[in-house]
Amino acid sequence: MPATLRDVAELAQVSVRTVSNVVSGYAHVSERMRQRVLAAIEELDYRANPVARTLRTGRTGMLALVVPEIDVPYFSELARDVIDAAAEFGYRVMIDQTGHDHERERRLLMGDDRTMLFDGILFSPLVTKSELLDMHRSEHMPLVLLGEHEFDGRFDHVAIDNVRAARDAVAHLAASGRTRIAAIGAQPLEEYSTPLLRTAGYEAALEEAGLEAPPEYATPAPHYSRTDGYGAATALLALSPRPDAIFCFSDLLAVGAMRAVFDAGLSVPEDVAVIGIDDIEEGRFARPSLSTVSLDTPFIAREAVRRIAARIDDPSAPAEEVVAPHRLVVRESTAAV
């Protein structure tokens, strides 16, 4: 029979309530008392089961990775890299999906009950900037944000330079001789950061290249999905003048856009060049292979795990922002013609 709280209390010569307070992490226990209880816990190897041990150590050895949609390849490939990186730090990772549910994201950041099963959260949010400003859970639960840009310094954050990534993609299209460059994923319905920042990069690159684009060249894409890309590209191809290049805000959008070009009886890259962002494996095997801006997900994963591990060990450490590198990868879909 494993040791009970009472056994611990007897050995430490304190009340059961004091032991309970210590293992629950409540304040109002003197350091001297706490040490006495911890020594007794150690000596008796008090751990009725893993959940009880969680009470004792306050650690589960598990991180939660929270993403909007696990069936989006960018997130599933990021998850793979996070799992690999976490293993090097001795953590296991479980993946949670918010499913574009803002309310769920908010509850999670405000401190959903179940998040207490984890030592820390790696969070790739869809929340808008103003929503994020309302959240203040980070003092209680170690949290690292992934992928967005322009937070306010209260959160650990591994960012992407979204403006620059978009600018690099569009500058490449312009340098390849394309003059009518459209965008899929711009014009967000809500004030999400990523689409706004990538739209800013798109517009900056057009201006730098001395190009203009009619407003209808910047099209929305609610879910960055293949279906969204297909629908948006089909609409773009019906415009006059027709775009000769499409910059998609994700590779998945670009895969859908390429299929739409073929179904319209046109060719990629001959009639329309297509480029994405992400560098998912699907794009490397697509036909034609997809040019993209490669986000360094192994770097993002490693930095995120390094930050969360540091924060778990020292919850009062100042928040840190790391910007992950990216690079243009030119493949068949944007070949000059």
Residues lying near a second copy in the complex (CB under 8 A): 1, 4-6, 9, 15-17, 20-21, 24, 26, 48-52, 54-55, 60-62, 64, 69-71, 73, 76-77, 79-80, 83, 92, 94-97, 99, 113-114, 116-117, 226, 230, 255-256, 258-259, 262, 281-282, 284-287
d(CA 267, CA 16): 75
CA distance 150 to 129: 9
What percentage of the chain's residues is helix, strand, coil (to nearest 5)?
45, 15, 35
CB of 150 vs a second copy, minimal distance in Å: 28
Are 241 and 255 contacting, i.e. CB atoms less than 8 angstroms apart? no
How far apart CA 191 and CA 129 sit, in angstroms, is 7
Tokens representing residue 41 in the block: 């816990």
Beta carbon nearer to a second copy, 73 or 220: 73
Q: In the complex with a second copy, which residue's Cβ is closer, 164 or 331? A: 331
Q: Which is nearer to a second copy, 119 or 203 (CB)?
A: 119
Cβ closest to a second copy, residue 155 vs residue 230: 230
In the complex, least distance from residue 141 CB atom to a second copy, rounded to whole angstroms: 12
Task: Give the E-state strand segments of 151-282 in sequence order.
Answer: 156-160, 181-184, 218-219, 245-248, 273-278
Pick 78 or 169: Cβ nearer a second copy: 78
Q: At what angle do helices 50-57 and 16-24 cross, to 10 degrees?
A: 80
What's the rounded Cα separation, in Å, for the pair 87 and 174? 42
Whether 67 contacts 95, CB under 8 Å: yes
Q: CB–CB of 126/102 below 8 Å?
A: yes
Q: Which of 334, 213, 319, 188 is nearest to 269 (CA)?
A: 334
Cα–Cα distance between 218 and 89 in angstroms, integer?
A: 43
**C-alpha closest to that of 277 among 261, 263, 260, 297:** 297
Rank residues 205 and 248 by Cβ distance to a second copy and give the closer one. 248
Nearer to a second copy, 34 or 164 (CB): 34
Q: Closer to a second copy at the Cβ: 104 or 164?
A: 104
Q: What's the closest the beta carbon of residue 115 comes to a second copy, in angstroms?
A: 9
Nearest approach in angstroms of CB 317 to a second copy is 24
Min dist CB 79 to a second copy, Å, is 5
Smallest gap from Cβ 77 to a second copy, in A, equals: 5
Q: CB of residue 262 vs a second copy: minimum separation in angstroms?
A: 6
Enumerate residues 6+ apart whose C-beta is below 8 A from 311.
Answer: 120, 142, 143, 144, 156, 317
Q: How far apart are CA 314 and CA 310, in angstroms?
A: 6
